[in-house]
Chain A
Amino acid sequence: MVKSDAIIELREVHKSFGAQKVLDGLSLSVPRGRITVIIGRSGGGKSVILKHMIGLIKPDRGQVLVDGQDIMPLDDRDLNELRKRFGMLFQDAALFDSMTVFENVAFPLREHTRYNETKIREVVEEKLGLVGLTGHGEKMPSQLSGGMRKRAGLARAIALEPEIILFDEPTTGLDPLMTDAINRLIKNTQDRLGITAVVISHDIQGAYQVAHQIAMLHKGRIIAAGSPEAIRESDDAVVQQFIHGRAEGPIEVL
Chain B
Amino acid sequence: MNLTRPLEAMGRVVMHGLEQAGEILLLLLQTMLWLMRPPWRMRLVFKQMEFVGVKSLNVTILTGAFTGGVFALQTYHGFSLFGAESLVGSTVALALARELGPVLTALMVTGRAGSAMAAEVGTMRVTEQIDALYVMAVNPVQYLVLPRVLASVMMLPLLTIVADFVGIMGGYVVGVHLLGINAGIFVAKIIEYVDPEDIMQGLFKAAIFGLILSLVGCFKGFYTYGGAEGVGRATTEAVVLASVTILAADYVLTALMF
A-side interface residues toward B, CB under 8 Å? 51, 54-56, 76, 80-81, 83-84, 86-88, 90, 92, 94-98, 107-108, 111-112
Contact B139 A80 (CB under 8 A): yes
Bound complex: CA A53 to CA B206 (Å): 44
List chain A residues, Cβ under 8 A from B137. Answer: 80-81, 83-84, 111-112
User: For A76, what are the chain B residues with a Cβ–Cβ distance below 8 Å?
Assistant: 139
Which residues from A are CB-within-8-Å of B129?
94-97
A47 shortest CB reach to chain B, Å: 10
In the complex, B26 has a CB within 8 A of chain A: no
Q: List 24 A-B contacts (CB under 8 A).
A: A54-B135, A56-B134, A76-B139, A80-B139, A83-B134, A83-B135, A83-B136, A84-B137, A86-B135, A87-B135, A88-B132, A88-B135, A90-B132, A92-B127, A92-B128, A94-B127, A94-B132, A95-B129, A96-B129, A96-B132, A107-B136, A111-B136, A111-B137, A111-B138
B131 within 8 A of A: yes
A108 to B133, CA, bound (A): 9
Residues of A within 8 A of B127 (CB): 92, 94, 97
- Given A84-B137, A111-B137, 12 more pairs with CB closer than 8 A: A51-B131, A54-B135, A56-B131, A76-B139, A83-B134, A87-B135, A90-B131, A92-B128, A94-B127, A94-B131, A98-B120, A111-B136
Complex-state Cα separation, A76 to B134, whole angstroms? 10
Number of A-B contacts (CB under 8 A): 45
Interface centre among B131, B136, B137, B139 (most CB of A within 10 A): B136
A47 nearest CB neighbor, chain B only: B128
Within the assembled complex, what's the spacing in Å between the Cα atoms of A43 and B44? 38
**When chains A and B are docked, how far (Å) is the Cα of A56 from the Cα of B128?**
11
Q: For A86, what are the chain B residues with a Cβ–Cβ distance below 8 Å?
A: 135
Q: Which residue of B lies closest to A108 (CB)?
A: B136
The distance from the CB of B1 to the nearest CB of chain A, in whole angstroms, is: 32
In the assembled complex, which residues on chain A have CB atoms less than 8 Å from the CB atom of B132? 88, 90, 94-96
The chain B residue sitting closest to A104, CB to CB, is B132
Cα–Cα distance between A8 and B137 once the two chains are bound (Å)? 18
